[in-house]
Amino acid sequence: MTDFLQLTFSGLTTGAAYALVALGFAIVFRGTRAINFAQGEYVMLAGVTAGALHQWADPPLAVVVLVVVLMGALCGLATEVICVRFTRTPNPNTITLATIGLGVAIKAVVLLVTDRQAYTLPGFSGTSTLHVGGAVLDAQALWNCALVAVAAGALAAFLRWAPLGVALRASADDGEMAAASGFSRRGAAAWSFALAGALAAAAGAGLAAVSPVNYDFGTLLGLKGFAAAMLGGLGSMPGAVVGGFAIGLMEAWFAGYVSSTYADVVAFSILLIVLFTRPTGLFAAVKVERV
């Protein structure tokens, strides 16, 4: 029982990161119908920046997190400019392909600047731990889960009640009607990428407090976040959270009871099963069109 609890705590820690990445995929898909494959590199860039800032200047952790979240939002806006506004035909397919190239470029630049160095942050509550049923729970895991809860709740409220959030949903559902009502589709894309960048930055800061982050950290994380988004239903906020934690837990249990060497296979096996059996995911609503 103790081993099961320990693996579960480990799965919740990584699952929180997957959930934040999946939320980024979901919000960009809702705003543009494209898939932002640079999302994992946002996380890596935020983690490296947070660790480097802490190492060089040692400001309070709250300041570090705030700086990288703002940087993530700016990176998201820059992505929208590069991948949407500078694209001759900004349809979902070309935007998706452009984000792949941008992700590779971000990874290469970080490699050149950091020379493979890994960076870490201290835990948000120091090294404090909790003991539950004989298992040890790092307090940082609770912080990461809290980040997911706050981010998911804030996004849900923003999309449900904020005028800009309602307009963003309208633009995703019917871009031409939203444009006719005075809301810019490019504005929806810009806000979507900015929010996705901020979410990724929060994930990067949380992960840097758990394990070292270097230039090669984001690619695999981004793909697992995409698998989580697909499992929950691409574009679904609750689905992104459930999918992220589900993959994190299944991956941890597989590593503990089967093989840690092949634990990365879990996320991609789930992705294939979802694509073959239920491409809309678990929580995606079925869209009915009247003709």
Q: Say which residue, 36 or 130, is predicted with more confidence.
A: 36
Give yes or no for residue 238 having a pLDDT over 80.
Answer: yes
Category of 135 on φ-ψ map: left (φ > 0), alpha (ψ -120 to 50) or beta: beta
In a domain, 246, yes or no: no
Give yes or no for residue 287 having a pLDDT over 70.
Answer: no
Q: Which residues contact 3 (CB under 8 A, 6 or more apart)?
A: 135, 256
Give yes or no for residue 172 having a pLDDT over 70.
Answer: no
In a domain, 268, yes or no: no
Record the tokens describing residue 210, joined without a space.
């758990």
pLDDT of residue 58: 87
Question: Which tens digits make up the pLDDT trace of 254-263?
Answer: 999 998 888 8
pLDDT of residue 261: 86
Strands (E), the chain: 129-132, 135-138
In a domain, 36, yes or no: yes
In a domain, 231, yes or no: no
pLDDT of residue 175: 61
Task: Report which residue type is found at 223.
Answer: L
Burial of 91 (0-12, 13-18, 19+ CB in 10 A): exposed
Mean pLDDT, the chain, rounded, equals 87
With bands split at pLDDT 50, 70 and 90, how would you rate the model's confidence at 140? confident
Q: 235-259 burial string, b = 16+ CB within 10 Å, else e?
A: bbbebbbbbbbbbbbbbbbbbbeee
In a domain, 152, yes or no: yes
Average pLDDT, integer, range 224-243: 92
In a domain, 177, yes or no: yes
Phi and psi dihedrals of 182, rounded to 5?
A: 105, 5
For 287, which DSSP code? P
Question: Which tens digits make up the pLDDT trace of 70-92?
Answer: 999 999 999 999 998 887 777 88
CA 106 to chain centre: 16
- Name the pairing type of β-strands 135-138 and 129-132: antiparallel
pLDDT of residue 124: 85
Range of the domain at 118: 12-216
With bands split at pLDDT 50, 70 and 90, how would you rate the model's confidence at 180? low
In a domain, 30, yes or no: yes
Whether the CA torsion 228, 230, 232, 238 is positive or negative: it is positive
Give yes or no for residue 198 having a pLDDT over 80.
Answer: yes
In a domain, 71, yes or no: yes
Helix and strand numbers, DSSP H then E, in the chain = 11, 2
CB-based contact 233:283 (threshold 8 Å):
yes
Q: How many domains would you assign to the chain? A: 1
CA 154/CA 170 separation, integer angstroms: 18
Of 192, 221, 193, 223, nearest in space to 206 by CA: 221
